[in-house]
Structure 1
Amino acid sequence: MQASLILKTRRHIGEAMFADLVIWRVPEPLRGSPHPFKYRLAFVADGICMMRYDNETGKGDHKHIGAEEHPYAFQSIEKLLLDFDADMKGWIDGNADRED
């Protein structure tokens, strides 16, 4: 079995913000992840990656919020997308009133 693409999209969110979502089903779990998915979900604002969820080989499931890296407890693709959207909304809501 080869890797199969499940999702690849770019969602534009307001002015100068977007989310890139890429999820693959892989033949066997990546080293460090117990599930058969490879993913990278990134939220970019003003050309800067503010948040990213991924499971690069050897590091397992984790997320980056700004410069900080945190473990992520993967449960399902649906939960991954919900968690990512919630964190992205939290970032947007928390920065909506900032002055440039």
Structure 2
Amino acid sequence: MKATPVYSFKQAFGVGRIEGVIWQVPEPVPPSEHRYKYRLVYVVAGERVVGYDNERGKGDHKHLRNAEIAYRFVDVPTLLADFMKDIRELQP
């Protein structure tokens, strides 16, 4: 079984843009323990303000401006809500 697209978006938001893609994968992406692979980003003037991803070897984490912070993945709706909450808190 290959990765199956679950959700994808790209749109203007505030003074920047948001983009994201979420796939369901047949096996977790180590060290994550869930079966989702994701990449979400909020960009303003070419700079990442907020980013969420679960890169192989790093696991679930988020980027808030220049800081990288571990993230506890619960489910896709919570992931999207947390992403939007961070954007609202950090948007210029």
Q: How does 1:70-89 map to 2 (within 5 A)?
A: 70-89=69-88
What is residue 11 of structure 1 aligned with on the other side?
Answer: 11
RCO higher in structure (CA 8 A, sep ≥6)? 2
* TM-score normalised according to structure 2 size: 0.95
What is residue 20 of structure 2 aligned with on the other side?
Answer: 21
* TM-score normalised according to structure 1 size: 0.88
Correspondence 1:44 to 2:27: no
Partner SS for 2:59:
coil
What is residue 60 of structure 2 aligned with on the other side?
Answer: 61
The runs of at least 4 consecutive aligned structure 1 residues that moved more than 3 Å come to none
- The total of aligned residue pairs comes to 92
Give distance in 2, aligned partners of 1:11 and 1:36: 26
Partner SS for 1:55:
strand
Identity of aligned residues (%): 40
Letter in 1 for 2:14: G
Highest CA radius of gyration, 1 or 2? 1
What is residue 34 of structure 2 aligned with on the other side?
Answer: 35
Shift of 1:13: 1.0
Greater share of residues in strand? 2
Give distance in 2, aligned partners of 1:78 and 1:90: 19
Give distance in 1, aligned partners of 2:61 and 2:22: 15
Shift of 1:91: 0.9
